[in-house]
Structure 1
Amino acid sequence: MSRRTAGVVLLAISAFLTGVKYLTASIYSTSSPGTVYGPDSFKQWLDYVGGNLTTYSIITLIVGIIYLILAEIYDFDKK
């Protein structure tokens, strides 16, 4: 697998993890009986989900960007 492909895959994983965080918060909010819907309650459910998914998403985003930059540098050096 080339560095460029690995970088794109890591960026896709980062986007997936970000989406999973919001999807999980929305599933939690709809499964709770008597929940008032709105931006404040959604922030509460996002806090309930926690920050691990955000941390992992940021890490994979940074590593994916580094891989893409390295792929471009190595490609430029070959020419």
Structure 2
Amino acid sequence: MKDYIEERVLELARYILDTNSTVRATAKKFRVSKSTVHKDITERLQEINPGLAAEVKAVLDTNKAERHIRGGLATKEKYHSRSSK
């Protein structure tokens, strides 16, 4: 694996742990695709640092479990802002 990819993988992992960020938010922050973030975190990080991969997986699993709630809140806000105008 190239050095710059390894550095990116570790930087993405640290960011996700520090901020409890989602894959989408992380991709936006680092200006890479969601697919890249997902592959880096699920496959490449496992090869580089399995312990860190487990920690990041826990954060992503939590985000995945909560996403239906965030989606519902976003929809509620959308219609609430429409009715206020």
Class of the TM-score when normalised by the shorter of the 2 chains: 0.3 to 0.5
TM-score calculated relative to the size of structure 1: 0.35
TM-score after normalising by structure 2: 0.34
Specify the structure having the higher radius of gyration (Cα): 1
